[in-house]
Structure 1
Amino acid sequence: MTSGEIFGQILLVLFLLVVVIFVLVVLFRSIRIIPQANAGVVERLGKYHKTLMPGLNILVPFIDRLRPLIDMREQVVSFPPQPVITEDNLVVSIDTVVFFQVTDARAATYEIANYLGAVEQLTTTTLRNVVGSLNLEEALTSRDNINGQLRVVLDETTGKWGVRVGRVELKAIDPPLSIQDSMEKQMRAERDRRAQILTAEGTKQAAILQAEGSRQASILEAEGEAQAAVLRANGEAQAIETVFGAIHAGDPDSKLLAYQYLQMLPKIAEGESNKLWIIPTELTEALKGITSGFMSGRGPDTTGATPFTPPTAPRA
């Protein structure tokens, strides 16, 4: 084999190698695999051509160009604290968190140069406008209202960029240190006031319950004494009725009857209630005779005494 033939074979091998490399490059540039939850924007000769969906896609080599992939998932971005002046001229530091999602890859690519930076700047500007119309107390207690206003403004503006803002949250609102000290003192004073009110309410309720218990005890004691007095009076009445019944059953004479009645007077007089006694005339005469008889040593004198008829005991 001559040197010319060898040189020709070398050229052939080089040509075949170049062809293989060219084919591999063409295949590499023609086949694109888009991952799930991503989208790719294709430009043909520098102009938007189409948007590639997840999966296997074929491009025209050297004519079509694939721009960087765009994440279509919902994203969470926490922006650094921003100083905001409230209506009462206080500077507060506010941290914000934005939840957004790219819904149109073409608009996010061509309608805005940097949609993430634009969302951040728009959030800061809108936050200053919203919080600037509120005083510090309203800003601290109206987070839901601020979040809603931010979301509406951001979603309306970013819609033409192919971005949907789903939620905006104020992560922290930090007032100046002097204001924080004043608020802490105010909260301590409020807690002390509530504690004093609760203590006073407890003391008041305890005094009311104690007074109510004393009143109930006095009422029950008085009722018990009244019932005891009634029972004692009933017993005494029954005893008197029994004695008079026994005397009548034995048919005693006037002397014995007066003597028995005289013995019953101390028992009848027992008790705490005041009594007014009405003694019949016959009993008085009989008692005079008995008393004079005992004073003279002759025994009871019943001469000229009117026979005594004992009164009938009242029925209970």
Structure 2
Amino acid sequence: MVDVGSFIGQIFVIVLLLVIAIFVVVVIFRSIRIIPQAYAGIVERLGRYQRTLSPGLNLLVPFVDRLRPLVDMREQVVSFPPQPVITEDNLVVSIDTVVYFQVTDARAATYEIANYLSAVEQLTTTTLRNVVGGLNLEEALTSRDNINGQLRVVLDEATGKWGLRVSRVELKAIDPPLSIQDSMEKQMRAERDRRAAILTAEGSKQSQILEAEGRRQSEILRAEGDKQAAVLRAQGEAEAIEMVFDAIHAGEPDDKLLAYHYLQTLPKIADSASSKLWVIPSEMTEALKGIGAAFGGRAEDIPRKDPTPRSKPNGPTRAAADAALAAAREAASAADDIATEARKTTPGTAAGPGEAR
């Protein structure tokens, strides 16, 4: 028969050993704490701050020391919702802010402020309203760097005793009212149209200036070309006249040759199709008389083989000379008559030499 007392004693011993083992495990578990990198742990002994645990393996006194929630020591980025802000010109704008901060003292962040995230948000909102309230809308839209700097300085000073360091504050968006946005868009559109019109006018002005300059240069070059051509033409004519003049004087022409060339030039006077009246100069008769005298003189200079009276010429040479002389005299008389009739029919024409005035 089994001894009941000894069996109960064995069970008690086994239970006690189990309790002791569980107690030891619990003690060991509560004594050892592993802190991750970039985190810090606050240890309280009997409800009072005892020390700050660094990353790594740390030992605590079980049932005496208590570890508070770990504090993140990395730089944190917090984006706050849009906040309505009234500007100096009484316009309500919505401003989104982003704050970059880092916990530098875990003890101060735990004991100096209850909720440092909420405190940073409220402090950012009040400081933002204070800074933007002294600016108008145009300055608020164009002075972001100035606003960011003022916010960072104020937040860094206020959060220093909380164990925080504010490294950067950014305005993510500034949204004016819709009516103001429409007005701003119209203003910008008008400004762009004005600049476009100015640029177009400047381009047109430059184009006209260049075209005028091109025309001026072209006219100058054309005038220079005409000048050079006229000079060369005049030089050529002068040289031609000089050569003709020298040739004439070198040939020593007599009155008969000049009269002959004068008669050759007369048909050119009436060469124009628009000539309705041809005035024969009085010098034409003199020229014809000269030609007749020349032919007559040559006829008289022809030697005769037999003494024959001048009234009875014989031979083909004498007959040709007399016919030419007669024709020249008739032409001179006809030209003289035509010139006289022309002077009579033309009013205001002076009488020629040898004519009755």
Alignment of 1:114-153 (within 5 A): 114-153=115-154
| 2:309 equivalent in structure 1 | none
- 2: distance between equivalents of 1:15 and 1:71? 42
- 2: distance between equivalents of 1:177 and 1:15? 77
Task: State the Cα deviation string for residues 201-236 of structure 1 (Å, max 9, x = none).
Answer: 222222112211111111111111111111212222
Alignment of 1:181-196 (within 5 A): 181-196=182-197
Q: Unaligned stretches of 5+ in structure 2? A: 266-281, 296-357
Amino acid of the structure 1 residue aligned with 2:59: I
| 1:25 equivalent in structure 2 | 26
| 2:167 equivalent in structure 1 | 166
Alignment of 1:62-141 (within 5 A): 62-141=63-142
Structure 1 residue 240, shift from structure 2 partner: 3.3
Give the 3 Å change call, closer, same or farther, for CA 197–257 of structure 1 in structure 2.
farther
Structure 1 residue 17, shift from structure 2 partner: 0.6
Amino acid of the structure 2 residue aligned with 1:217: S
Task: State the Cα deviation string for residues 165-209 of structure 1 (Å, max 9, x = none).
Answer: 011111111112221121122112112212222222222222112
- Structure 1-normalised TM-score? 0.80
Q: Does 1:292 align with 2:286?
A: yes
Structure 1 residue 139, shift from structure 2 partner: 0.7
- 2: distance between equivalents of 1:51 and 1:98? 26
Structure 1 residue 5, shift from structure 2 partner: 1.7
Alignment of 1:210-221 (within 5 A): 210-221=211-222
| 1:156 equivalent in structure 2 | 157
Structure 1 residue 45, shift from structure 2 partner: 1.5
Amino acid of the structure 2 residue aligned with 1:196: A
| 1:6 equivalent in structure 2 | 7
- 1: distance between equivalents of 2:16 and 2:171? 65
| 1:253 equivalent in structure 2 | 252
- 2: distance between equivalents of 1:300 and 1:17? 176
SS of structure 1 residue aligned to 2:77: strand
- 2: distance between equivalents of 1:238 and 1:40? 119
Task: State the Cα deviation string for residues 11-55 of structure 1 (Å, max 9, x = none).
Answer: 111111111111111111111111111111111111111111111
- 2: distance between equivalents of 1:76 and 1:68? 20
- 2: distance between equivalents of 1:83 and 1:110? 32
**Would you say the 8 A contact 1:290–1:300 is kept in 2?**
no
Give the 3 Å change call, closer, same or farther, for CA 245–109 of structure 1 in structure 2.
same
Amino acid of the structure 2 residue aligned with 1:102: V
**Would you say the 8 A contact 1:126–1:150 is kept in 2?**
yes
- 1: distance between equivalents of 2:27 and 2:158? 42
Q: Does 1:58 align with 2:59?
A: yes
- 2: distance between equivalents of 1:188 and 1:99? 37
| 1:307 equivalent in structure 2 | none
SS of structure 2 residue aligned to 1:96: strand
SS of structure 1 residue aligned to 2:113: coil
- 2: distance between equivalents of 1:24 and 1:161? 38
Alignment of 1:193-212 (within 5 A): 193-212=194-213
Give the 3 Å change call, closer, same or farther, for CA 298–64 of structure 1 in structure 2.
same
**Would you say the 8 A contact 1:39–1:54 is kept in 2?**
yes
Amino acid of the structure 2 residue aligned with 1:294: L
Please identify the structure whose Cα radius of gyration is greater.
2
Give the 3 Å change call, closer, same or farther, for CA 7–291 of structure 1 in structure 2.
farther
- 2: distance between equivalents of 1:253 and 1:140? 105
**What percentage of aligned pairs have identical amino acids?**
74
Alignment root-mean-square deviation, CA: 2.5
SS of structure 1 residue aligned to 2:292: coil
| 2:229 equivalent in structure 1 | 228
- 1: distance between equivalents of 2:41 and 2:159? 20
Amino acid of the structure 2 residue aligned with 1:101: Q
- Structure 2-normalised TM-score? 0.72
Structure 1 residue 245, shift from structure 2 partner: 4.8
Structure 1 residue 255, shift from structure 2 partner: 2.2
Give the 3 Å change call, closer, same or farther, for CA 226–17 of structure 1 in structure 2.
same
- Corresponding pairs, count: 275
**Would you say the 8 A contact 1:289–1:300 is kept in 2?**
no
SS of structure 2 residue aligned to 1:68: coil
**Would you say the 8 A contact 1:83–1:94 is kept in 2?**
yes
Amino acid of the structure 1 residue aligned with 2:6: E
Amino acid of the structure 1 residue aligned with 2:12: L
- 2: distance between equivalents of 1:244 and 1:19? 154
SS of structure 2 residue aligned to 1:297: helix
Structure 1 residue 300, shift from structure 2 partner: 6.6
